[in-house]
Structure 1
Amino acid sequence: MGSGGEYPASERPQQADVAARAGVSLATVDRVLNRRKGVKERTRQRVLEAARELGFLSETEEARLGNARPLNIVVLLPAGSNPYLRLLGERLRARLERTGADGPALRCFFIESFSAQALAEALRRNAGWADGIAFFAIEHPVVREAAAEVAATGTRLVSIVSDLGSVPGIPHVGLDNRAVGRTAGLLIGRLSGGRAGAVALVAGSRHYRAHSEREAGFLSIQEELFPQMRVHGMREGHDDAAENYRHTLALLDQVPDLVGIYNVGGSSGGITRALREQGRQEVIFIGHGLTQDTRKAVLEGTMDAIFDQDPDTLLDRAVACLNDPATTARPLKLDIYFSENLP
């Protein structure tokens, strides 16, 4: 960086010269020139002035670096085979390609799924670089402790899709998941046409608050409006298509009066595969995430409805919350797709 045009190559000023003139460390100069966090505004201006006076930076470069630094934002998502989460990752990569020099610097990391310890470590590890972190939360004491610790250092946090519960100062961007569960229960109850029988739930994990809230909402409306239907417990498939496939085969074998299945998590492909192989398209099936596999399942009639939260809107809201802590995090709109209204 820097033109250094007025000096012979051997005499061009170096970052060490800028540090000496500004009276700061070499590390501080590096942070200023690379627009990293952790430098006071007064110190930043002194470094830029010294760099210009030495000819290390041109006036144009000094002016650009003197502008407000864009935020460094990290997004932490669970690793695994969940197609919706992979879609979120793809949308983030697309944003990286579109972001200009003055836009936020985005990084996305996939961490071990369902591991509270791995998420807590990732929060602490990324807090040094990030001004803000958006993360798919696991409701666990070690995650709450890490989140509180990171927030206390000044790094902004926002949970996405699944939250930590009522943790002060950490907004949540996602659906009203209890209402989502009630909507799923209402839809299955209506589509069943009054049939008596069993309804099964499949989840990623109850450690995801989003999944446990959807379950609670589903149970509440079944008890209120559809007493002829019993809920056959909830199985945890860890958002893995192979596990969901095995769970579904077991349900079809063990529950002869199975009326419907609600997948409160992701990776619905395993469930549709089992229903298709067993010729059980009469079983009502509702799942989450508009992806290539769920679109195909709805079109062929194996899946009845897809509940979706638009990934671009989710990311827009999360970045807005990190940019401006005063932003109100309202629940996202639930999109429900059938074969006749697929976008």
Structure 2
Amino acid sequence: MADIAEAAQVSLATVDRVLNRRKGVKARTVERVLQVAFDLGYVSEADHARLVHPRPPNVVFLLPMGGNPYLRLFGDKVRAIAQSKSRDEPQVRCYFIESFDAGALASAIRHHAGWADGIAFMAIDHPLVREAVEEVSAAGKRIVTIVSDLQHSLRDAYVGLDNQAAGRTAGYLLGRFCHRPMGSVALVAGSRNYRAHAEREMGFLGLIEELYPGLKVIGMREGHDDRDENYRLTLSLLEQNRDLVGIYNVGGSSDGIGRALREKNLSGEMVFIGHGLTADTRRLLIDGTMDAVINSDPDVLLATTLRLFSDLQRGGISNPSLLPPVKMDIIFRENIPPVQSVAGGAATRRGRHPF
């Protein structure tokens, strides 16, 4: 390395940064150092071809803390990726932050921009978050929203479902499955602060009004993706609306709703549509408590996001904001895919104050 530094007329520290693909070295200096290293026989032709390209990006995932099983599953998959030591893949970290707290999310975006080249997060559509995104984007960081998007922001891309289409699909399924053409239907969400939940509600309401005018939609209740809160909300809905014929869970933690329906002996009678194929929704589909689950494959979501960050770093994508939505899967009891295990690990930081 000292010979390379002398021949390339750079410092030993610069050679170290180039060979380990660290930041802070100009492209022409990288090329000169690598050519000298190749000429001296320090690196092979294959190593030279690999090292001459930009290093893989450092990527941080920010996920809401709480009991949402789909997000916990997604976090486990991110954690498994984070354990990889390959220098040719993005270096990944994952942090869980306070749910539904725009200030905590904005602070986390700013904090992790110090290490990360790219930040992926489930967006809370709030001025504090949009301001943080604009600030770190102006500093050259790449921003990708996942599952739920931001309106009017400088984020690079959104990876997730077309949530309005998902809501319309849920409305169509619920209306078709209802045993009666008249009655009330209810929506339970995590929070309207998630644009995904608001868009799903909008799509659902539009479809029901268009095709099933006999169904009356009760105003959406917010259960904050908490199973116990969803359980209490469902019991209240059943008590206050004797003509209730269907429930659409816009968010997560469907097991709380399922528990209330089973207690009231309404499994199979009440139409129940939800999101995210996880251990709890699998059980609810199998025992007949849920009729359908709208799902976006977390492996596809993760792979698409990481590939996007790599493409953005290489400049290989011209208009990332026009990426098509992630494919929507409709899961019924008869087409449940097999369970795939996820490797565990300690790379994901958990806890109330992860940083």
**TM interval, short-chain normalised:** 0.7 to 0.9
Residues 263-310 of structure 1 deviation map (CA, whole Å, 9 limit, x = unaligned)? 000111111011111211211111100001100001001111111000
Q: What is the CA–CA distance in structure 2 between the aligned matches of 1:151 and 1:70, rounded to whole Å?
A: 19
Counterpart in the other structure of 2:271: 284
Report matched runs for 1:241-320 at 5 Å. Answer: 241-281=227-267, 282-320=269-307
Confirm whether residue 132 of structure 1 aligns to residue 118 of structure 2.
Answer: yes
Counterpart in the other structure of 2:326: 332
Q: What is the CA–CA distance in structure 2 between the aligned matches of 1:261 and 1:65, rounded to whole Å?
A: 54
Residues 177-226 of structure 1 deviation map (CA, whole Å, 9 limit, x = unaligned)? 11111111111111113431110100000000000000001111111111
Residue 91 of structure 1, CA deviation: 1.3
Confirm whether residue 70 of structure 1 aligns to residue 56 of structure 2.
Answer: yes
Aligned with 2:101 (options 94, 115, 128): 115
Aligned with 1:228 (options 203, 214, 233): 214
Q: What is the CA–CA distance in structure 2 between the aligned matches of 1:118 and 1:34, rounded to whole Å?
A: 33
From the CA coordinates, give the structure whose radius of gyration is larger.
Answer: 1
Q: Cα 1:37–1:246, aligned 2, differ >3 Å: closer, same or farther? A: farther
8 Å contact kept, 1:22–1:46: no
Residue 77 of structure 1, CA deviation: 0.9
Q: What is the CA–CA distance in structure 2 between the aligned matches of 1:98 and 1:330, rounded to whole Å?
A: 28
Residue 127 of structure 1, CA deviation: 1.0
Of 159-168 and 332-341, more deviation after overlay is shown by: 159-168
8 Å contact kept, 1:37–1:131: no
Q: What is the CA–CA distance in structure 1 between the aligned matches of 2:15 and 2:134, rounded to whole Å?
A: 30
Pairwise CA RMSD of aligned residues?
Answer: 2.8
Secondary structure in structure 1 of the residue aligned to 2:185: strand
Q: Cα 1:169–1:120, aligned 2, differ >3 Å: closer, same or farther? A: closer
8 Å contact kept, 2:227–2:257: yes
8 Å contact kept, 2:34–2:52: yes
Q: Which has the higher contact order (CA 8 A, sep 6+)?
A: 2
Percent sequence identity over matched residues? 58
Residue 31 of structure 1, CA deviation: 5.8
8 Å contact kept, 1:244–1:267: yes
Tell me, which stretches of 5 or more residues in structure 2 are unaligned? 338-355
Counterpart in the other structure of 1:238: 224
Q: How many residues align?
A: 323
Counterpart in the other structure of 1:193: 179
Q: What is the CA–CA distance in structure 2 between the aligned matches of 1:123 and 1:89, rounded to whole Å?
A: 17
8 Å contact kept, 1:204–1:264: yes
Q: What is the CA–CA distance in structure 2 between the aligned matches of 1:200 and 1:83, rounded to whole Å?
A: 21
8 Å contact kept, 1:201–1:234: yes
Secondary structure in structure 2 of the residue aligned to 1:77: strand
Q: Give the TM-score taking structure 2 as reference length.
A: 0.82
Secondary structure in structure 1 of the residue aligned to 2:272: strand
Of 194-203 and 295-304, more deviation after overlay is shown by: 194-203
Q: What is the CA–CA distance in structure 1 between the aligned matches of 2:33 and 2:101, rounded to whole Å?
A: 42
Residue 166 of structure 1, CA deviation: 4.1
Residue 48 of structure 1, CA deviation: 7.9
Residue 30 of structure 1, CA deviation: 7.6
Residues 133-192 of structure 1 deviation map (CA, whole Å, 9 limit, x = unaligned)? 111111001111110111111111111000002435521111111111111111111111
Secondary structure in structure 1 of the residue aligned to 2:274: strand
Secondary structure in structure 2 of the residue aligned to 1:164: coil
